Structure 1
């Protein structure tokens, strides 16, 4: 084979491989890197933003779709979610579900956390099982930023987020029986799980 013919074959092969590389979808890990600045490396946050590592894939997809459609209000995520296809959202959901959440190292009141354990067991455990660590039926609560959880509760109260009927009933019952400080106690319990 002549040098000229060899170069043509190499060039054609390179173009073919190059076009395949351009057509390939980004991997779930690559997609997840766009989330790292806010949600932490591999989905474990170190700020007021929630940890998404270990999130139930169905919950993750539902949440992203709600952001994407505008059903769930947000400061940034409603715009970010629109940049992903449904397939990419599902791929990210499966990626983050496989990651182990790292609890946030944060200050908490031991006395309030002790009160919060009992309140959690009486009012929250049925949905937020295993002390808020089980994500099969709901979002991760244990080890989340207490500020994020506080803002989430304020969003529920203000009507910015839909409150599940069971949660509304249980929170109302807890507030009626234990007053507003009960919310802070439960949040300190979740924050104490480090």
Structure 2
């Protein structure tokens, strides 16, 4: 049977060991997956949104995710609540979340679209958008367009056109050229094309 002194020494050593490990555990913080749970209500548990006004973020390039979150945090991107949510995270936490969502498989959901407009949108995409949004807008370093919910795409384009969202490099020139070619049908055509991609 262990003496009282031996038990006391063992407990003291255990406490010292725990105190030595505690700072590392605390500084590690929650994982990207754990932090992603706050996004699940709008963007789905794995980043594949089931709500038509919310973008899917599964498979998103982590730098695109971080840039978007920083823009929300700095109130440089039009948002309903994302600017408040983004302010809660450090740069390192945003990177962790970005890598988590990048590792998730994007699940797309069928949605109704106009096939005539989608065909016109495919031609406009090939002419004006494919260079940055490769493979028909599949996930890449310019974001994900293919299969995104059409209402979300429509609202996003409205924000760009109304000056509520900063244009990425070269995008305004390309969009203006598409509108010059197809008029008022350019944006609906592109939205229907991307919405048709499953």
In 2, Cα distance between equivalents of 1:6 and 1:93 = 47
**Pick aligned residue for 1:164 from 163, 168, 179:** 168
- 2:186 counterpart residue number: 182
- 1:91 counterpart residue number: 96
Q: Is the 8 A contact 1:104 1:191 kept in 2?
A: no
Corresponding residue SS for 2:97:
helix
**CA displacement 1:103-130 (0-9 Å, x = unmatched):** 2321112222122111111111111111
Aligned counterparts, 1:41-56, within 5 A: 41-47=45-51, 48-56=53-61
Corresponding residue SS for 2:131:
coil
How does the TM-score come out when normalised to structure 1? 0.89
Aligned counterparts, 1:44-193, within 5 A: 44-47=48-51, 48-136=53-141, 138-193=142-197
In 1, Cα distance between equivalents of 2:90 and 2:169 = 30
In 2, Cα distance between equivalents of 1:14 and 1:187 = 60
Q: For this pair of structures, how many residues does the alignment match? A: 193
- In structure 1, the gaps of 5 or more residues are none
How does the TM-score come out when normalised to structure 2? 0.87
In 2, Cα distance between equivalents of 1:62 and 1:118 = 29
- In structure 2, the gaps of 5 or more residues are none
Q: Is the 8 A contact 1:142 1:193 kept in 2?
A: yes
- Residues 140 and 13 from structure 1, CA distance in 2 versus in 1: closer, same or farther, beyond 3 angstroms? same
CA RMSD, Structure 1 to Structure 2 (Å): 2.2
Corresponding residue SS for 1:162:
coil
Q: Is the 8 A contact 2:121 2:191 kept in 1?
A: yes
Q: Is the 8 A contact 2:76 2:166 kept in 1?
A: no
- Residues 147 and 11 from structure 1, CA distance in 2 versus in 1: closer, same or farther, beyond 3 angstroms? farther
